[in-house]
Amino acid sequence: MYKRNKFVDFIYLISLLVLVNLIAYFISSYSYLNNPTISKNVFINRTLRTLDDSNYIYFGDLSNSYLYVEEIKYELDFDSYDDNYFIFYTVIVNEDINVNFISLDSNTIYNDYFNLYFYGQLTD
Amino acid sequence: MANSKKCIFKNYRFYLCLLISFAVFALAVIFKDSFYRIWIAVKDFGISIAYYFSQLFFIDNGLIVTVNNLVTFPGNTTIVPPSTGTVIPVNYDLFEIKMSMYWNSLINSQTMAKFLVAVINQVAIFFRWFLILIPGIIALYFSYKNIFTTNQKDYFEDSIQLSRWKKFKAKILNPIFDWVNDLLLFILGHKYFWIIWICCFGVYFNLFSIVIDFFAYYFYFVVSFDFENIYVQFYKLFLDLEIIFTTIPWPFWIVIIVIVFDKIRKNWAYDTLDHHEFMNRGFINGCGQATFIVGTPGTGKTTALTDMSLSQEVMFRNKALELMLKAESEFPNFPFIKLEKSLQEQFEKGSIFSLSSCAKYSRHLTNIFFELYKEGEMGECKKLLFDYDFNTYGLRFDDGSKIIDFLSKVDSEHSVLEIYCKLYFIYIFQSSMIVSNYAIRSDKSFQDLGNLPLWDYDFFRTDSAHSLDRENSNVSHILDWDCLRIGKKMIEKNTKSNAFEFGVIVITEIGKERGNQNDTRGLKKNDDFTNQLNDQFNNFLKLVRHSATVDNFPFIKILFDDQRPESLGADGRELCEKVVHIKEKSNPKTKLWLFRFESIIFDFVEGHFNSFHKRYRFWRSDNTLFSYFIQNAYSKIYKYYIRLFNTFCYSEQRIELESSKLDSKVNSSKYYLSYKKIYSYRFATDAFSDYFYKKAALSKVGIDALPSFRCYRASLNELHSEHSYLFNSLLGPVLQSSKPPESVAARRASRATFPPRNEQTKGNPYSSQQHGYNSG
């Protein structure tokens, strides 16, 4: 029958466990990006004011926000934060985003609030 | 046909399938967006086709291609379905950004913490289930213990619980399974039902839309080379597939993933076996016309010998087909199919049965042709050559080095007609190509639609039941050694002695038949009887390729095996180009992914089951519900495992390849033995067992009748009774002078506790001869 070495079996099982967990980890990490846990209403007045307590902001879901994207501007200053946090301030102004939504009538902005999603932990 | 239609209408399953069909149609209400989606896809396709042709013919009609637009469903104010917006970013820039975020967040304490929390939650859920199951496990444990408290002797009687279960199974479960099985068979037998259902779900799950959109983008892309919008297509693909991901429940996905993974890993393992087979064939080809395999018992030399013969047979048929196709390329307008049909008629009549009869047939045709040609009967000539227009297409071909004739009176052997007849005979003939001194089973599976039959050479994917069927099997021809003797023959007028022309000669234990110089000492060439010196066996081996060569390729292979190369005389041995030394055989290996994991599980289950089963068999002989379930569950696992093992495992033989002169450089190599190929009742490892069976049948007593030693030290009498050369020579003078004295130890032992052998086993045929002496 199929002969095996117990030590190799042990290494094999451990490797298998690690592999399965790694795959799960990779998938989970992506899903954490897609499932924001915290959302807040942010005041918009033609100029986006980021919350001081965020470490980064993601605008991937603007399509649901009835927002005339062209008018988003940003003022972010992360210099005061710890370097260990991720900073993606390049996210926010992206003219290509506008291309997809420019056809939306600006009248669709019926209030000045929209959801911003925060990924990761808010700083204290 | 009409009857079968009537029968369908009387079958209630038909109406059940109709009901299911209506239910499937009714699902359209839920998946109504899919119909809009397919309409958009068709529109995209139409516009893309128009765009394709307009670009192809440089028509600038201002057509705007819609395949790159995202779909807006009626009633939705958003472009993108809300649930997908966050999974895949809407454009490539966002995708880049998201990927950047993803990689940055990958090695991050928060992500890791989140993942750990998720893992702990899953473990907690598992333990919650475990806690629920604990009472059941405890009950199971006590019932398990309870099994061994009584000594049951109801031989194979069912317990009350098991009887009830069997009744329940027979009256309720089996009818349900049978009913479901019948329904499935009915559905499979009436394809219009399941095709309609598959089509419906294809529409509902946007599968048709995806295919149509793919072609829409394809026709747009090949004229525009718009790389920028490729991402949009992926995005649309994901949106289209979302419905299938969200509708089908996750357990179903697990089943699908397992099935797909299993399929992929098996294909991979089959590919590995194929690769090994081709490596083996390369090895066999490199060994020359005659090969001598040697190795100690247990290294698998006869197994390798058999394996090589099977591969060689396949290679011969392949080669014959290859050369036939080459001949067709030389004379592409000759109606070879008509020639084949004519040959088949001759096979059936029995007028063609060998290569020489093929030659006779083709030479006969050639002679008639040239006679008719001489007489100017061109019409008859054409008719003779199966309406081949030889005036237009010719009967000669210059291959650069020589002129190849289709018909030749002078050099008929090299004419394409004769070569093709012989090749077709080699390719098509139905019995085994192997001639051996032990039985070898080979496959005889081929497909024939009435044109050119194609042999199925797959050793690994065929179903065992199919390949073991007598109709699909060939067993090797019995080797008549007179066929291999061109000198004196054992039977003077042996009618079969000239029957062998081509094929694979396989001889196991050649040394015992032919012997070496020592074995043949005393024999003379001019002896009246046939012996190893005057039968000219070696000359036959030297010349046999002349009878088997067709189109300059020798269709002959000679394979021998024995324990030592020196067992065969030097002349015979040196006829073999190579001596294959099998050094060792590896443990079973496999390239089937996760088989080790399955093997670990199986060993765990097997160990526990065997322990349980032995104990159960010792205490009880009745059938309980518990043992019934355990045994049947284990049996299922065992059958699954052993099937995988035998299908995908193989052994590697470490081989040293040496020139037959036995003083040359040794090359190392490997030979692969696939279990599926070689252990599929190909040969019997105890090929000559019938002799020993008959020999043993002559005896009136068995092993139990052989006397046992009286104690752990043998007496002189006992040594003498061994009839050994050694002890006879040692004890001879002693025994002749006086009766051998019994040893002191033997006397002591005989006075000790052990009764004489005959008293001990009297009346008990099963009593063992083990007395515990080995401890000393």
Closest alpha carbon to B649 in A3, A15, A11, A16 = A3
pLDDT digits (tens, 9 = 90+) for B466-500: 777 778 899 999 999 999 998 888 888 888 888 99
Mean of pLDDT values over A27-47? 53
- The three-point CA angle B349-B350-B353 to 5° equals 145
Given pLDDT bands bounded at 50, 70 and 90, which one contains residue A101?
Answer: very low
Residue B607 predicted with pLDDT over 80: yes
Closest residue by Cα to residue B301 from B5, B584, B670, B598 = B584
For tokens 């010998």, the residue is: B305
Nearest Cα residue in chain A from B600: A9
Average pLDDT in chain B: 87
What are the phi and psi torsion angles at A115 (to 5°)? -80, 130
pLDDT-based confidence at residue B689 (cuts at 50, 70, 90): confident
Do residue A120 and residue B108 have CB atoms under 8 angstroms apart?
Answer: yes
Q: Which amino acid is at B230?
A: I
- Which tokens go with B585? 């055989």
By percentage, how much of chain A surpasses pLDDT 70?
25
Residue B465 has pLDDT above 90, yes or no: no
pLDDT at B562 over 50: yes
- Per mean pLDDT, which range of A53-62, B229-238, B372-381 is the poorest? A53-62
Longest dimension (CA), chain B: 126
Up-side HSE of residue B650: CA atoms within 13 Å toward CB?
25
Hey, where are the domains in chain B?
Answer: 23-147+181-248, 707-758
Share of chain B above pLDDT 70, in %: 92
What was the pLDDT predicted at B466? Answer: 76
Partners of B98 on chain A (C-beta within 8 Å) are: 33, 58, 60
Query: pLDDT tens for residues B192-218?
Result: 999 999 999 999 999 999 999 999 999
Class of residue B372 by CB neighbours under 10 A (exposed 0-12, middle 13-18, buried 19+): middle
Indicate the pLDDT class of residue B340, thresholds 50, 70 and 90.
very high
* DSSP of B350-415: TS--SHHHHHHHHHHHHHHHHHHHHTT-HHHHHHHTTT--HHHH-SEEE-SSSEEESS-SSSGGGS
- How many angstroms separate the CA atoms of A116 and B681, rounded? 71
Q: For residue B56, report the phi and psi dihedrals to the nearest 5 degrees.
A: -65, -40
What's residue B770's pLDDT? 42
Count CB atoms within 10 A of the CB of residue B591.
17
- What 8-state DSSP symbol labels residue A106? G
Integer Rg of chain B from CA: 38
Per-residue pLDDT tens over the stretch B626-660: 899 999 999 999 999 999 999 999 999 999 988 87
Interval A42-62: pLDDT, tens = 333 323 333 333 333 444 444
Q: Which of B70, B94, B102 sits opposite A29 (nearest CB)?
A: B102
Pairing relation of β-strands B441-443 and B473-475? antiparallel
Q: Rounded to whole angstroms, how far apart are CA atoms B35 and B203? A: 7
- pLDDT tens per residue, range A63-84: 433 333 333 333 333 343 333 3
**CB-CB contact of B369 with B384 (8 Å):** yes
Cα–Cα separations (whole angstroms), residue B139 to B130, B161, B619, B629: 14, 16, 21, 16
Task: Write down the pLDDT at residue B453.
Answer: 92
The total of other beta-carbon atoms located within 10 Å of residue B367's CB is 13
Higher pLDDT, A36 or B481: B481
- Whole-number pLDDT of residue B628: 93
Share the mean pLDDT of chain A.
Answer: 49
Query: Is the Cβ of B181 closer than 8 Å to some Cβ of chain A?
Result: no
State the pLDDT at residue B23.
Answer: 95
Confidence of residue B744 (pLDDT cuts 50, 70, 90): low
**pLDDT tens, B703-719?**
888 889 999 999 888 88
Is 80 exceeded by the pLDDT of residue B132?
Answer: yes
Question: What value does the mean pLDDT take over residues B443-471?
Answer: 86
**What's the pLDDT score for residue A75?**
33
Tens-place pLDDT, residues B265-311: 999 999 999 999 999 999 999 988 899 999 988 889 999 999 999 99
Give the pTM. Answer: 0.80
pLDDT for residue B165 is more than 90: yes
pLDDT confidence of residue B738: 55
Retrieve residue B637's tokens.
């696992």
Under a CB-based contact definition with an 8 Å cutoff, are residues B552 and B404 in contact? no
Amino acid identity, position B68: N
pLDDT band at B741 (very low <50, low <70, confident <90, very high): low
CA-CA-CA-CA torsion for B620, B624, B627, B628, nearest 10 degrees?
Answer: 130
pLDDT at B454 exceeding the cut of 50: yes
- Partners of A64 on chain B (C-beta within 8 Å) are 78, 80, 82, 85
Q: Quick check: B600 and A33 CB within 8 A?
A: no
> Residue B754, exposed/middle/buried by CB under 10 A (0-12, 13-18, 19+)?
middle
- Which pLDDT belongs to residue B737? 64
The Cα–Cα gap between B369 and B383 comes to 10
Measured over the CA atoms of residue B186, residue B190, residue B192 and residue B194, the dihedral's sign is positive
Nearest to B559 by CA among B542, B540, B579: B579
- Residue B124: pLDDT over 70: yes
Alpha-carbon gap, residue B335 to B346, rounded angstroms: 17
Beta bridge partners of B158: B623
Tokens representing residue B749 in the block? 């032992």
Per-residue pLDDT at B518: 83
Distance, CA of B675 to CA of B312 (rounded, Å): 18
Q: What is the ipTM score, two decimals?
A: 0.75
Q: Distance between the two ends of chain B, CA-based, in angstroms?
A: 84
Cβ contact, residue pair A88, B91, below 8 Å: no
- Torsions phi, psi for B35 (to 5 deg): -70, -40
B433 or A29: which carries more pLDDT confidence?
B433
The whole-number average pLDDT for the span B360-386 is 93
User: B89 to chain A: which residues are within 8 Å by CB?
Assistant: 60
In angstroms, the separation between the Cα of residue B258 and the nearest Cα of chain A is: 14
CA of A59: which chain B residue's CA is closest?
A: B94
Q: First CA to last CA across chain A, in angstroms?
A: 61
Structure confidence at residue B410 (pLDDT): 83
Q: Give the C-alpha separation, B265 to B271, whole Å.
A: 10
d(CA A35, CA B83): 11
Determine the residue among B88, B246, B596, B597 to mutate to test chain A binding: the one whose Cβ has the most chain A Cβ atoms within 10 Å.
B596
Model pLDDT, residue B671: 96
What percentage of chain B has pLDDT greater than the value 90? Answer: 55
DSSP 3-state assignment of B562? strand
Shortest Cα distance, chain A CAs vs residue B115, angstroms? 7
Instruction: State which residue of chain A sits closest to B100, comparing Cα positions.
Output: A88
Which three-class secondary structure state does DSSP give residue B291?
strand
Pairing of strands B477-478, B434-436: parallel
pLDDT > 70? residue B6: no
Q: How far is CA B571 from CA B482, B533, B537, B575, in A?
A: 19, 11, 10, 7
Find out whether B343 and B424 touch, Cβ atoms under 8 Å.
yes
Residue B11 in tokens: 């079958």
Of the candidates A100, A119, A120, the beta carbon closest to that of B91 is on A100
**Listed ranges B100-114, B548-562, B662-676; the one with the highest mean pLDDT:** B548-562
d(C-alpha B582, C-alpha B668), whole Å: 10
- Mean pLDDT, range B587-595, rounded to an integer: 93
Least-confidence region, from B93-107, B122-136, B206-220, B509-523: B93-107
pLDDT bin (cut points 50, 70, 90) of residue B769 is: very low
pLDDT digits (tens, 9 = 90+) for B17-64: 999 999 999 999 999 889 999 999 999 999 999 999 999 888 887 888
Handedness of CA B513, B516, B521, B524 (dihedral sign): positive
Using CB atoms, which residue from A9, A63, A94 is nearest to B78? A63
In chain B, residues 596-655 whose CB comes closer than 8 Å to chain A? 596-597, 599-600, 603, 645, 649
How many H-runs (helices) and E-runs (strands) does chain B carry? Answer: 29, 17
Pairing of strands A74-75, A48-49: parallel
CB count in 10 Å sphere of residue B203: 18
- On chain A, the residues whose CB falls within 8 A of the CB of B105 are 29, 32-33, 86, 119-120
User: How many whole angstroms separate alpha carbon B550 and alpha carbon B569?
Assistant: 31
Asked whether the beta carbons of residue A29 and residue B106 sit closer than 8 angstroms, the reply is yes
Q: Is pLDDT of B402 > 60?
A: yes
Whole-number pLDDT of residue B716: 86
